[in-house]
Structure 1
Amino acid sequence: MNTDTLTQNETLDTKIQAGKFLTTLLDSGIANERIVLKKNDKIELTASNDTPYIFVIVSGVTSIFSNTNVAIDFAGEGDLLDYNIYSSQLFGKALTDEVIVWRFSQIDVFNQIAQNTELQLQHYHMLQIIQRRLEKKQMQATLDTKNMIAAFIHTLAIRYNTQTDDQGMIELPRYFSRKMIANYVGVGLTTLTTHLQKLMEEERVIFNSRVLLIDAENRI
C-alpha cells in the first residue's frame, strides 16, 4: 500500500472516529456551541483565558495560523481542532465559503474522557493525526525548494481531492490560493511561481492563474 492510499485511508478513518467522538459528546449533555464561519472568519484555537476549547469540524476547510500569521496546518471535515498543547497562540481561518464546527469546553471533554475509554482512544487518535501532519511537514521542509513545494502541494491535493483525472493529475482545490500556498511553504510568491514553472517544464504540474494540478505520483 503506497503512502497516498495510506493518507486517504487515514483521512476516512479520522472522519469515522470524529463522527463517533462528536456524537458521544453531543449525547453527553455537556455545554456545546455550533459555530458557522464564513470565508476568512477567524476562530481562536489556543487558550488565552481560563477556558480552553476543543472543536470538531463538521464541514468546510480551515487554515491554522501562528500568531505571526504563518500557516502551519489545515483542517477539514472530521478533523479535531485541539492545539492547546502548543505554547504559541494559534487561530483558524475559514478557507471555504462556510465552515461549521462544534465547540466544547476542554475541561468538560476531559471529564467525559475520564468516564469513557472509547472516547479517550478516539481523542488520542485524532491528536496523533495532528502530530503526524506537523511532523510530515517538517520532514518535507528538508527537501530543496522545488521539491518541497511539490511535496506540500501534493500532500494537500491528495488530502482534499481524491479524484485523479485521465492524465494522472490531481487538482488542488481552488480555495488554496497562490498566496496561501506561498505562506504555507514559507517562500515569496515570485519564488513559488518560478519553481512552479520549473515543475511544469518537468511535466509534474499544470498551472495557470486559476488552476493547479499535480502529478498524482509526484515523481521526483
Structure 2
Amino acid sequence: MRNNIAEMEFLYNKENISAKFSKDKFRQFLQEKVIFPLRGVTKKYYKNDSILTEGEVISHVYVIESGNVAVRKDEEQIISFYSENEIIGVTNLLLGSRSECSFQAISNELVVTKYDKVSIVEKVINTQEGYFYHYVHMQNQFSQMMEKEELLRLPSEQRISLALLILGTNFGEETDDQDLIRFPKSINKGMIAQYTNLNPNTITNVLHKLQNEDSLYPARGGFYIDIFKLQIKLGRAL
C-alpha cells in the first residue's frame, strides 16, 4: 500500500507532471491517432495575418509548427509571443467560448495545424492524459502572466533588459558562442515597446546604452544579445 502511495505521489507531483506533460508532448498527444484520432489541416499564414481576433468565437485549435505569433490585447498591447509547439485555442474548453486575445503572425511565414475544437475537447476531457496536458498548459499560461506582471513593475532600463533576456532566450537563435543569442528578427522595436508598455524612444535609448555596455551587438537585419551580461545586469546570473 505504501509503495502504491509513494508511486502515485511521484507520478503526480507538480514537477513530474510538468515534465511528463510538456507543451511539445501535448502537441504529440493531439496528433497521435490511437485514441480519439484527430484530422488536422496544415495552413499557412503570412506576416500580419490574423489567426484569431479578440472576442471571436473559438471554433478551431491551432498548433504552431513553425513561425512566431504575437498575442495582443486591445490591439496596442502585446502580452506574449508564441512559437513552435505552442497551442492556440485551448485555454477555455467550453464550446462557444470567445478569445480573450488576438493572435497575429509576425514571422514572414507561419505554419500551423488546424483542428476542429469540438474534436480537441472530446479528446482532452475523455482521457486522463488530456486532463494533465490541459492542466500543464494552464499552469504555463499562469506562469507567463506572472512573469509579465513582474516585468511591468520594473524601472524602464531593467524592464527592457529583462524583456530582451526573456524574448531572446525563448525565441532567439543560438550561436557558436553560448552567451550570444541572435534576437528574433520577427520582434522589432515597436513590438518590444508594446510588450514592455514603454515609449519607442525609450526602447531606442536603452538599446543604445546596452550596446555601449557590450550587452548588445548590432548586426545586419537585427542584433545579438549577450545573455550572460544581461543576467549580471539584472542580478540573475546562473
TM-score (norm 2): 0.75
Question: How far 1:191 sits from its partner (Å)?
Answer: 1.0
**Are positions 1:114 and 2:125 aligned together?**
yes
**Are positions 1:131 and 2:142 aligned together?**
yes
Query: What is the total number of aligned residue pairs between the two structures?
Result: 209
Q: Which residue of structure 2 aligns with residue 183 of structure 1? A: 194
Contact 1:96 1:175 in 2 (8 A): yes
35, 46, 64: which one pairs with 2:71? Answer: 64
In structure 1, give the amino acid aligned to 2:43: I
5+ long unaligned stretches in structure 1: 1-9
Contact 2:61 2:88 in 1 (8 A): yes
154, 165, 183: which one pairs with 1:154? Answer: 165
Quickly say closer, same or farther: Cα 1:21–1:166, change in 2 above 3 A.
same
Q: Which residue of structure 2 aligns with residue 34 of structure 1? A: 42
RMSD: 2.9
TM-score (norm 1): 0.81
Based on CA coordinates, which of the two structures has the bigger radius of gyration? 2
Question: How far 1:170 sits from its partner (Å)?
Answer: 1.6
Question: How far 1:152 sits from its partner (Å)?
Answer: 0.6
5+ long unaligned stretches in structure 2: 1-17, 234-238
Quickly say closer, same or farther: Cα 1:167–1:75, change in 2 above 3 A.
closer
**Are positions 1:18 and 2:29 aligned together?**
no
State which drifts further: 202-211 or 59-68.
202-211
Identity of paired residues, percent? 21
Q: How far apart are the structure 1 equivalents of 2:47 and 2:191? A: 14
Question: How far 1:177 sits from its partner (Å)?
Answer: 1.2
Quickly say closer, same or farther: Cα 1:31–1:168, change in 2 above 3 A.
closer
182, 185, 197: which one pairs with 1:171? Answer: 182
Q: Which residue of structure 2 aligns with residue 213 of structure 1? A: 224
Quickly say closer, same or farther: Cα 1:30–1:157, change in 2 above 3 A.
same
In structure 2, give the amino acid aligned to 1:188: N
Contact 1:146 1:199 in 2 (8 A): no
Q: Which residue of structure 1 aligns with residue 106 of structure 2? A: 95
Q: Which residue of structure 1 aligns with residue 51 of structure 2? A: 43
In structure 1, give the amino acid aligned to 2:80: D
Q: Which residue of structure 1 aligns with residue 209 of structure 2? A: 198
Secondary structure at the aligned position of 1:72 is classed as strand
Secondary structure at the aligned position of 1:166 is classed as coil
Contact 1:36 1:101 in 2 (8 A): yes
